[in-house]
Amino acid sequence: MKIIHTIQELRELLHIWRAERNTIGFVPTMGFLHDGHGALMKAARQDNDRVVLSVFVNPTQFGEHEDLEAYPRDLKGDAKLASSCGVDVIFAPTPEEMYQNPKAFVDIVDLSNTLCGVTRPIHFKGVCTVVTKLFNIVQPTRAYFGEKDAQQLAIIRKMVKDLNVPITIVGVPIVREADGLARSSRNTYLSAEERQAATILYKSIQVGKEQIKIGMPASELISSMKSVIQGEPLARIDYVSVVDAETMQIVEFIDRPVLVAMAVYIGKTRLIDNFSYTIGR
Ligand code: AMP
């Protein structure tokens, strides 16, 4: 497995692979890889001749007071896991390699004005821009995204559709710890006590999954999920919302495929989680 830091060198390698008519699977990440990323890499390995992983902590998707500097990094550890998942090349550019005083951006409207877009107003513009740049650099056959970041996945799907990007987007189910906590690079911020408290997100999801089947309106579902979370003193709710699975707009009556999503601070760490629901499925 190779590790490449420049766009030029990666393009030269990809040029050869494309000339050999290889299909290319692409997994974009911010690194500090765990089994959640592992599921994406394994899916890409299964579906494609070649697998490209990017490791890039993208500055343009972090707000001013967010954790850009503190975000955990470990390229050596990432290389170990990536290699065991069958990745052919890691693309790990510097911020300077990716951005030189940029004036062009890719943005998405409406889908980014709910859920995480409310507290992180510039986040999805940064994501859409870097993903577009990475798509243009790698030009993969398929690209893999986790359902853990469900709003991001919906936004990428819509962006690819609207801009006629010739790449198949593949969503991969959430990978969880044994106690239900969704795997996340940010889980490393949690103290032992906070790690225990963080299981409250999954507990409220389990309650939500049971209650949504009864057919209650979204507002009642949200109240009962919120009251589970409020039982944990270290937890502070950012949002618990029910949105249309495609448009990401708030719904009250659960009469279509929906996403039930939450962001909760455990101490200073902001964690997200979600589940999808379609009546009768
Ligand atoms: P990140 O490095 O956090 O930007 O994540 C890179 C990709 O891995 C995104 O598509 C995430 O949705 C996905 N991912 C992160 N954690 C998980 C998880 N626990 N289960 C499935 N996918 C995940």
Report the nearest atom of ligand 1 relative to the CA of 184: 16
Structural domain boundaries of the chain? 2-172, 185-275
Residue 280 pLDDT more than 90?
Answer: no
**185-275: CATH homologous superfamily?**
Pantoate-beta-alanine ligase, C-terminal domain (3.30.1300.10)
Residue to mutate (ligand 1; options 27, 29, 134, 270; most atoms within 8 A of CB): 29
Domains 2-172 and 185-275 share a fold: no
The token pair at 49 is 């001749």
Q: What are phi and psi of 71, to 5 degrees?
A: -55, 130
pLDDT for 10-40, tens place per residue? 999 999 999 999 999 999 999 999 999 999 9
Q: What are phi and psi of 251, to 5 degrees?
A: -125, 150
pLDDT for 169-195, tens place per residue? 999 999 999 999 999 999 999 999 999
> Which runs of consecutive H residues, i.e. helices, occur in the chain?
7-19, 35-47, 75-84, 95-98, 116-119, 123-138, 150-162, 192-197, 200-212, 218-230
Write the residue with the smallest CA distance to atom 14 of ligand 1. 146
Residue to mutate (ligand 1; options 26, 35, 37, 52; most atoms within 8 A of CB): 37
pLDDT for 128-176, tens place per residue? 999 999 999 999 999 999 999 999 999 999 999 999 999 999 999 999 9
Indicate the fold that domain 2-172 takes in CATH.
Answer: Rossmann fold (3.40.50)
Contact partners, residue 72, CB within 8 Å, separation at least 6: 31, 32, 185, 188
- Prediction pTM value: 0.98
Output the CA 271–ligand 1 centroid distance in Å.
Answer: 12
Cα 212 to Cα 214: distance, rounded to the nearest angstrom: 5
Report the nearest atom of ligand 1 relative to the CA of 34: 16
Cα 246 to Cα 242: distance, rounded to the nearest angstrom: 12
Q: Which residue has the tokens 């044994």?
A: 178
CA dihedral 151, 154, 157, 160 (to 10 degrees): -50
Write the residue with the smallest CA distance to atom 13 of ligand 1. 146
